[in-house]
Amino acid sequence: MLLSIVYIALGFAAMELSGWFIHKYLMHGPLWMIHKTHHQPSHSFFEWNDLFSLLFGSIAMVLIFFGVEQLDYRFWMGVGISLYGMLYFVLHDVLVHRRLRWFSKPKHPVLKGIYKAHQAHHKTNQKEDAVSFGLFLVPKQFFNKEEQ
């Protein structure tokens, strides 16, 4: 049981770290043509950038599929990636971008920091000059004690 929790945490952490790297160096690099739809005003519920969620979700599904028979590390890492994806959806798409209007602006200090970091990331709709590329790895500057 403990080992499965470790693999879940590894899958989750791998998504945040690889997501940060992919976002900074690929999405704001050679894959900008897809990602820029996320930085521009949209009149549609879906954007080309959503393809990245399908890619990451597919990785989780493949890991779960190949690991489910023996409940080995692949299964549990797929679960960790899936948990990350669910939290990403709730925090990024629902709370920050309000693609579904389930919540008001965050009041909890951690959620406020995540929210402010992502708002700072979207201050530019250009490939360069963006800041804060992770979802949970947020620079300390966005957790201003005086405002909370």
Taking only the tens place, the pLDDT of each residue in 104-128 is 888 888 889 999 998 899 888 888 8
Cβ atoms within 10 Å of 136's Cβ, excluding its own: 19
Which of 20, 18, 34, 35 has the alpha carbon at shortest distance from 124?
35
Q: What is the pLDDT of residue 147?
A: 53
Residue type, 132: S
Q: Which pLDDT band holds residue 148 (cuts at 50, 70, 90)? A: very low
> Given this model, what pLDDT does residue 45 score?
82
CB 135 within 8 A of CB 52: no
Distance CA 141, CA 36 (A): 25
What is the Cα–Cα distance from 87 to 81, expressed in whole angstroms?
10
| Among the ranges given (99-103, 117-121, 130-134), the one the predictor scored with the smallest mean pLDDT | 99-103
Q: Calculate mean pLDDT across residues 18-27.
A: 95
90 residue type, one letter: V
| Amino acid, single-letter form, for residue 53 | S
The fraction of the chain above a pLDDT of 70, given in percent, is 97
Q: Please report which helix (H) or strand (E) contains residue 34, including its range.
A: helix 32-39
Residue 145 has pLDDT above 80, yes or no: no
Percentage of the chain lying above the pLDDT 90 cut? 57
Task: Describe the chain by its helix, strand, coil percentages, rounded to 5.
Answer: 65, 0, 35
Tell me: pLDDT of 68 over 80: yes
